[in-house]
């Protein structure tokens, strides 16, 4: 699966679980998706390969973040 599978603004989650995250971009050097999510009151950022992620259906709750 390529990084084009998830567009900027998509709500995703790690296949292994964890919080809902919002895709905010793609690292040009690695192709990893840059995601942001709330960790309590703090906004966290991380980069993940698309094969590590699944898209969260809209009926599973609100978006992780709105930018």
Kindly report the pTM of this predicted structure: 0.80
Q: Where are the domains of the chain?
A: 3-58
CATH 2.30.30 fits 3-58, yes or no: yes
Give residues with Cβ within 8 angstroms of 20, minimum separation 6: 11, 12, 13, 37, 56, 60, 61, 63, 64
Give the pLDDT of residue 64. Answer: 47
Per-block mean pLDDT, blocks of 10 residues, the chain (67 long): 75 96 96 96 96 86 51
Give the pLDDT of residue 44. Answer: 97
Give the pLDDT of residue 5. Answer: 82
**Torsion (CA) 37, 43, 48, 51 in degrees, nearest 10:** 0
């Amino acid at each position: 699966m390529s990084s084009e599978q998830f567009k900027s603004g998509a709500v995703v989650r790690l296949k292994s679980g964890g919080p809902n995250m919002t895709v905010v971009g793609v690292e040009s050097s690695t192709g990893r998706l840059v995601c942001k999510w709330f960790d309590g009151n703090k906004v966290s950022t991380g980069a993940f390969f698309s094969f590590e992620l699944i898209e969260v259906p809209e009926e599973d709750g609100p978006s992780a973040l709105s930018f």
